[in-house]
Amino acid sequence: MQAHAHLPEPSPDALAASQALKHLIVDEIRRHDGWIPFSRYMELTLYAPDLGYYSGGAAKLGKDGDFTTAPEMTPLFGATLAHPIGELMAQSAPHILEFGAGTGKLAADILAECATAGIAVESYAIVDLSGELRARQQERLAAYPQVTWLDAMPRAFSGVVVGNEVLDAMPVSLVAKGEQGWRERGVAWRDDRFVFEDRDCDAALLAQIPDADALPVGYVTEVHPVAAGFMRSLAGMFDAGYAQSGRGGAAILIDYGFPGHEYYLDQRSTGTLMCHYRHHAHGDPFYLPGLQDLTAHIDFTAMAHAAVQGGLDMIGYMSQAGFLLSAGLADRLLGTAPENVQAYLPQSNAVQKLTSPAEMGELFKVLAVGKAVELPDRFDRADRSWRL
């Protein structure tokens, strides 16, 4: 526990919930011969009913939560996103589907800008597994009657899908290269604590890693079968929507990560797995299960391949800075007069954080895939699809 001495203490209720989840995970391990894949451990810590990080009741976003997302920084993020969404809906259908809507701030900002700009939105559906966040969304979006909530991805859809920091919340598998080859890293319960333990690896897990055989012994990394499955499901959903209505759609997915040839570099030999607890980042996934977020960077090449294999087109891949500036972020900022320093300065600072290469501008990427739609030409200069 000395390694966590700098982290804030949980409340007694939060600690009790974490202990309950720990017992649930230990029971799961015992039922499966003393070992579960890390992906299953991560799934339980994030999504176990009533106890997981996203399915429990802890505040997750904003100054009282564990991390702050782009929509929480400034309404300009959602207002800017509304315009390419509108142009894509004009090619498909006036419907938006958001996965993992957080506090509802992004949806509110998109809908407010659409109303101001005269962009018709007939429906805005949200899929979110967190009951606590859904309640916050319903309160924030009460003024928008076109907003509905779904428990799962619809079978068919035409329009625009939005996912901001959704892929990184999906469970990942861990693999480690030993002297005898690759092994899957899982979780065991030894001496009253969780420990990593490696077992034989399914060869299919390695398919995502380019030149896996060339990586050195001791290399540890993540693979993303759940997120890749999500991309294939999006493809099936758009395909069914097109068959049903003759109209396609697009998905705009914003997250942090790299193309495959950058993901598996020497400097990432211990992987990208990271934990977030009350605005502190650390590397121990076994600390207070259920009270901290577990994430990994995204292999965007693997996501793009899964979408294309499912039948979608690659319509754009670029840095967050390139996307937002092409979408008109600077124009949105100038909607506040620079002379009004008290109003302008916070928005300007947020724009700097969203676009600076040293902040979110370069680490965060935008992947756009779709069926029978294209991004407007003004995004061409920022496009880096060739790097995938």
Summarize pLDDT for 18-28 with one digit per residue, the tens.
Answer: 999 999 999 99
> So where are the chain's domains?
19-387
Q: Is the pLDDT of residue 5 over 90?
A: no
- Its sign, for the CA torsion 31, 35, 40, 42, is positive
- Distance in Å from the first CA to the final CA of the chain: 41
* Cα distances (angstroms) measured from residue 201 to each of 170, 173, 183, 265, 269: 20, 11, 5, 21, 18
User: 10 Å Cβ neighbour count for 32?
Assistant: 12
Provide the pLDDT for residue 4: 72
User: Over the chain, what is the mean pLDDT?
Assistant: 94
Q: Is the pLDDT of residue 169 over 60?
A: yes
Q: Is the pLDDT of residue 346 over 60?
A: yes
Architecture of domain 19-387: 3-Layer(aba) Sandwich (3.40)
Quickly state the pLDDT bin for 385 (edges 50, 70, 90).
Answer: very high
Q: Alpha-carbon distance 105 to 110, whole Å?
A: 9
Summarize pLDDT for 89-104 with one digit per residue, the tens.
Answer: 999 999 999 999 999 9
Provide the pLDDT for residue 240: 98
Q: Are strands 95-99 and 123-127 parallel, antiparallel or unpaired?
A: parallel
Q: Are 249 and 375 in contact (CB under 8 A)?
A: no
Q: Is the pLDDT of residue 133 over 90?
A: no
Q: Is the pLDDT of residue 41 over 60?
A: yes
State percent of the chain over pLDDT 70: 96
Quickly state the pLDDT bin for 1 (edges 50, 70, 90).
Answer: very low
User: Cα 292 to the chain's mean position, in Å?
Assistant: 15
Alpha helices by DSSP H, the chain: 12-31, 38-47, 70-73, 75-91, 105-117, 131-140, 225-245, 260-263, 300-309, 320-326, 329-333, 341-355
Residue whose entry in the numeric block shows the structure tokens 């451990």: 41
Summarize pLDDT for 59-71 with one digit per residue, the tens.
Answer: 454 444 556 899 9
Residue 312: which region, alpha, beta or left (left: phi > 0; alpha: psi -120 to 50)? beta
Provide the pLDDT for residue 2: 47
Q: Alpha-carbon distance 268 to 45, whole Å?
A: 24
* pTM for the predicted model, two decimal places: 0.95
For the segment 348-352, the average pLDDT, to the nearest whole number, is 96
Summarize pLDDT for 271-308 with one digit per residue, the tens.
Answer: 999 999 987 889 999 999 999 999 999 999 999 999 99
DSSP structure class, residue 2: G
